[in-house]
Amino acid sequence: MKKLIVGLLMLFAIQFVFAQEKIKIERAEDLPKHYYDLKGNKAMDYINNRALLLELAGKLEANLRDDLEKYDIQDKATRRGYYSMFSVISFLKNDFEPALDEIHAGRKLTEKESDKYMWNLTEEVYMKTKLEHPDLPEEAFKAAFKTNLEAALEKMPFEVVREEIEAMTGSLDILSANLLQGIIEGQLQPIIDKAEKQVPEFVANQLLGLRMTYDMTLPYVEEVYKPVFQAYYDKNHVEVEMVDIWKERDIAFTNDMKLTPVVVGIWDAGVDESVFPENNRWVNKAEKPNGKDDDNNGYVDDINGIAYDINGNKVSEILFPIAEVNSNYHQYEKYLKGLMDLQAMIKSEEADELKKYISALTPDEVNPFVENLGLYGNFSHGTHVAGIAAKGNPQAKILAARLTFPYENIPAPPTMETSKNWAQLYKNTVQYFKDNHVRVVNMSWGYSQNYYESVLAMNGIGENEEERKALAKKLFGMEKDALYTAMKDAPDILFVVAAGNANNDVDFANDIPAGLTLPNLMKVGAVDMEGKETGFTTIGKGVDVYSNGYEVESFIPGGETRKYSGTSMASPQVVNLAAKLWAKNPDLSVAEVKNLIIKGATPSAEKPEILLIYPQRSLGMLQ
């Protein structure tokens, strides 16, 4: 009888386990984190030693499979990432059929039209070719692979996949063995050195992905990928020219119109106010450029705005003093333009110069190059955003509020002191906006608790996952609460934020500021010039409206113009519209302006839930 009772209890226990519901995860910071002890091995050891790599892959796969067994992850983009990693691991094991199954499982979770065609396309075609021709000599395999890739692309609607084709082809133009080795030794190895036995999972992911790049991409760049993608592009792009829907939707004001000045806050990485005409610059007339706080407001020389350094301390330069860090920064402006030209398949001197420069880089020169490119990207970002916000509105007065963001491969870790400073920075900046009658603020930036946790791990801080997570939550929470409270206490200011460029769900990502929800806040996603969803834009129910974020032209420091892409470029277009509404009618409330923007927007032809701003319609509603 005792054995029978025990058996029944065991059966009940098994049934209870199977009846358990998975733990629902609705925010990125609640995802399980995994860390790995690489036991003193170097990053390149995992590239060169297949057995060592597969041992790491086995641990990684076990953790990820366990995650999917235990957790109900609500974000499709995150689940796609799991299946993508599974396909990489199966590829490295030469298990091509399971790898294809994982690719197909991930593709079913795609939400964007372009992803339904392009999600892991080259990996899929490569492995199908391997299965069809397992014993072909290398040269014959290349020919078969090329034929199959051409056939796969022929089925693609060019107007849907154009952006992805351009970006992929541009990336292939600069891919080399030295570049890969430089990334591994210059970016991953320093993290391994600092993290010691607690190497974050993204490092393991990248090691496996880079080994796959060595095997499946690098040997086929010149003879397969580049000629196939270029031929497909050349055949189709002339026949299908992109139609710019924004020209007919936009409206430009002139000086002879009856307009009211509108102060527009550009809360970003710094603005070169000198590139704008005087009528577009906000000026604090009580301040003089003399190194003193003439108006006793706590800021020195805040003639066109205010600034804070990386640690959250007040400084006077509203444009980051880049020459103090890199005296050769003008060259990196050319490199950045060259990179963007390559990714848009534009032939230019800068693109040719970039390809030549990267091809000559030694592995130890790669990371400094990448960091300096990031430094210039930060430096130019705010000016580009400000130009979009002020375009076509002679009464938009740009008030700069500079934040300073890291550009290094391993950023300095957050501390209690820096987080307290940033919390105070948020309060002070919003108060400055209120004191100076700012009506609308653009915020094209964001970061998360997960980011803080990763930075702590990269710097070797914390004994284990629990300790790091608790510290990241405390520091990030302090900053998030301060920003939320400051914005909430400024109900007469409209804050417009970029949704993000991670092709995920805005609410799941839960970054700040895009993860906040307030009546005086709008979240903006990016579409292209035709109004089609970009491959990079963050999406979800939390995104209010979409605007053009693809190759948008605006100023960079010094006064030249460049085309940048991102939700960073989409957000200030909504700010532009809000400022125009207030210029026409300064008595509008924040709620009324927000309502006019949303009511004037029209549904996308692709997805009715995507609302595309329509400035003419919104302004017409004022009549």
Q: What is the pLDDT of residues 195-236, one digit of tens each?
A: 988 999 999 999 999 999 999 999 999 999 999 999 999 999
* Predicted local distance difference test score (pLDDT) of residue 165: 95
Q: Please check the confidence at residue 400 and state whether its pLDDT lies above 80.
A: yes
Q: Over range 99-117, report the average pLDDT.
A: 96
Q: Please check the confidence at residue 11 and state whether its pLDDT lies above 80.
A: no
- Do 380 and 526 fall within a single domain? yes
Q: Please check the confidence at residue 1 and state whether its pLDDT lies above 60.
A: no
Which sign does the torsion angle of CA 578, 579, 580, 586 carry? positive
- Do 160 and 272 fall within a single domain? no
- Do 215 and 254 fall within a single domain? no
Task: Please tell me the total count of domains within the chain.
Answer: 2
Strand partners, 557: none
- Do 180 and 276 fall within a single domain? no
Q: Please check the confidence at residue 119 and state whether its pLDDT lies above 70.
A: yes
| Domain containing residue 531: CATH number | 3.40.50.200
Q: Please check the confidence at residue 403 and state whether its pLDDT lies above 90.
A: yes
Q: 390 near 396, Cβ under 8 Å?
A: yes
- Give the separation between CA 569 and CA 334, rounded to whole angstroms: 20
Q: Over range 609-613, report the average pLDDT.
A: 97
- Do 192 and 290 fall within a single domain? no
- Do 299 and 196 fall within a single domain? no
- Do 360 and 228 fall within a single domain? no
Of 237, 263, 293, the position where a domain reaches its end is 237
- Do 122 and 62 fall within a single domain? yes
When pLDDT is cut at 50, 70 and 90, the band that residue 20 belongs to is low
Of 237, 258, 279, the position where a domain reaches its end is 237
> How many CA atoms lie less than 13 Å away from 471 in the CB half-sphere?
20
Q: 280 near 394, Cβ under 8 Å?
A: yes
Q: Average pLDDT, whole number, for the chain? A: 94
- The β-bridge relationship of strands 494-498 and 438-443 is parallel
Q: Please check the confidence at residue 9 and state whether its pLDDT lies above 50.
A: no
Q: Over range 604-621, report the average pLDDT.
A: 95
Residues 326-347: pLDDT tens digits?
999 999 999 999 999 999 898 9
- Give the separation between CA 302 and CA 311, rounded to whole angstroms: 19
Q: pLDDT above 90 covers what percent of the chain?
A: 94
Q: Please check the confidence at residue 604 and state whether its pLDDT lies above 70.
A: yes
Of 185, 216, 237, the position where a domain reaches its end is 237
> How many CA atoms lie less than 13 Å away from 314 in the CB half-sphere?
15
pTM of the model: 0.94
When pLDDT is cut at 50, 70 and 90, the band that residue 375 belongs to is very high
For 543, the domain range is 246-620
Cβ neighbourhood burial of 114 (10 Å; 0-12, 13-18, 19+): buried
- Give the separation between CA 505 and CA 542, rounded to whole angstroms: 8
Q: Please check the confidence at residue 498 and state whether its pLDDT lies above 50.
A: yes
- Give the separation between CA 38 and CA 56, rounded to whole angstroms: 8
- Do 214 and 275 fall within a single domain? no
Q: Please check the confidence at residue 115 and state whether its pLDDT lies above 60.
A: yes
When pLDDT is cut at 50, 70 and 90, the band that residue 436 belongs to is very high
- Do 348 and 485 fall within a single domain? yes
- Do 232 and 251 fall within a single domain? no
> How many CA atoms lie less than 13 Å away from 455 in the CB half-sphere?
21
Residues 255-303: pLDDT tens digits?
999 999 999 999 999 999 999 999 999 999 999 999 999 999 999 999 9
Backbone angles phi, psi at 51, to 5 degrees: -65, -40
* Predicted local distance difference test score (pLDDT) of residue 623: 75
Q: Supply 297's token pair.
A: 């407001």
* Predicted local distance difference test score (pLDDT) of residue 239: 67
* Predicted local distance difference test score (pLDDT) of residue 240: 66
* Predicted local distance difference test score (pLDDT) of residue 242: 79
- Do 228 and 269 fall within a single domain? no
Q: Which amino acid, residue 465?
A: E
